[in-house]
Amino acid sequence: MTEHASLQIGDLAPPLELPDTAGRLTTLPFPGEAPATVVVWTSNHCPYAIAWHDRLMDVARDYAEQGVRTVHVNSNDPERKPADSYEAMQQRVRDEEWACPYLHDDSQDAARAWGPLTTPDVFVLDTDLRLRYRGAPDADYDDPAQEASWMRAALDAVISGGVPEPAETKPVGCSLKWKE
Amino acid sequence: MRAPRAPGGVLSAGVSLRVEVLWWQGCPSWEQAIELVRAEMAGAGLDPATLRVTEVQTDDDAGREGFVGSPTVRVGGVDIQPTEDEPTGLTCRIYRRRDGRVSPLPDPQDIRDALAAALTGDT
């Protein structure tokens, strides 16, 4: 497995400027613009990412009402995983109801800067774009009743100016598919 | 007709029922898959200790084993959820559960049915 630096709790988020599936460049909000921001590394091919997907979309919808911004990012090498090509991402967004932009990290620079370990890997930032929660959406990919409870608790804490507890959980999923 | 069977996953006719889990360390559910299959074997009256567990470590291994993703469960040499034209390789496998959900683990009922079919010779 390729090792890269990984963002730590309290770190300022690296810049993120990536195209969504319509080709629009998408960036993080300015500091103070959103009460919290969620960045989820995900993929099309991974059963863990798919199993959690609906829960993650529900969180994006529910918290958008409070001004929370959410983006999902796919950094996988399409040579290794054709299901993660830009075209496949576009098709997926056409076929499904996405509640947030799905960004394409073709160069894998964003993944190198943020250091996601798996798909999915959830990053919750506060209004100043500092990392406040990192890890899995909830305790069980196979149990929709979990409703991404860890992620929701982290967002509730951040929005109210508190500190998520725990701030970090072990991400569970497929490894990033780095270009060779 | 149901074939009488002896303990240990061996049919009395002398034919072993080979139950296998092939796994790759890149997918975190492999231990759960092994536990799941062992539980279903016990439920079917088979000795869970006879489960053959094989770690697939390289793409070459995957090609040789016909491994299309982790975990792969075979009963009597037959994949419990056969795939069509899926390339071999080191990847995590997508299972469709009976309630329609996607999961990294097979539906226990699929394992149960595969074991029952093999034990009754209905394959």
What residue spans define the domains of chain A?
34-164
Number of A–B residue contacts, CB under 8 Å: 36
Residues of chain B neighbouring A141 (CB-CB closer than 8 A): 103-104
B93 to A47: CB separation less than 8 angstroms, yes or no: yes
pLDDT digits (tens, 9 = 90+) for B7-28: 445 554 444 699 999 999 999 9
CA nearest to A28, candidates A147, A177, A131 = A131
Instruction: Write down all domains in chain B, each with its CATH number in brackets.
Output: 16-119 (3.40.30.10)
A47 to B26: CB separation less than 8 angstroms, yes or no: no
- Please give, rounded to a whole number of angstroms, the shortest distance from the CA of B92 to a CA of chain A: 6
Sequence-separated (6 or more) residues with CB below 8 Å from residue A17:
A25, A26, A27
pLDDT digits (tens, 9 = 90+) for B32-52: 999 999 999 999 999 999 999
pLDDT at B16: 67
Cα torsion B47, B26, B92, B79 to 10°: value is -30
Residues of chain A neighbouring B92 (CB-CB closer than 8 A): 45-48, 174
Q: Which among A141, A144, A174 is the nearest to B26, CB-wise?
A: A174
User: What pTM value is reported for the model?
Assistant: 0.90
Cα torsion B106, B107, B108, B109 to 10°: value is -130
The mean per-residue pLDDT over the stretch B62-89 comes to 93
Percent of chain B with pLDDT over 90: 80
Measured on CA atoms in the order B101, B105, B106, B107, is the torsion positive or negative? Answer: negative
Averaged pLDDT score across all residues of chain A:
96
List strand residue ranges (DSSP E) for B1-123, in order.
5-6, 10-11, 19-23, 52-55, 72-75, 78-79, 95-96, 102-103
B92 to A174: CB separation less than 8 angstroms, yes or no: yes
Domain A34-164, what fold? Glutaredoxin (3.40.30)
Is the predicted ipTM greater than 0.90, yes or no? no
Segment among A13-17, A145-149, B11-15, B32-36 with least mean pLDDT: B11-15
pLDDT at B12: 40
pLDDT at B121: 79
Do the beta carbons of residue A169 and residue A150 sit within 8 Å? yes
B26 to A45: CB separation less than 8 angstroms, yes or no: no
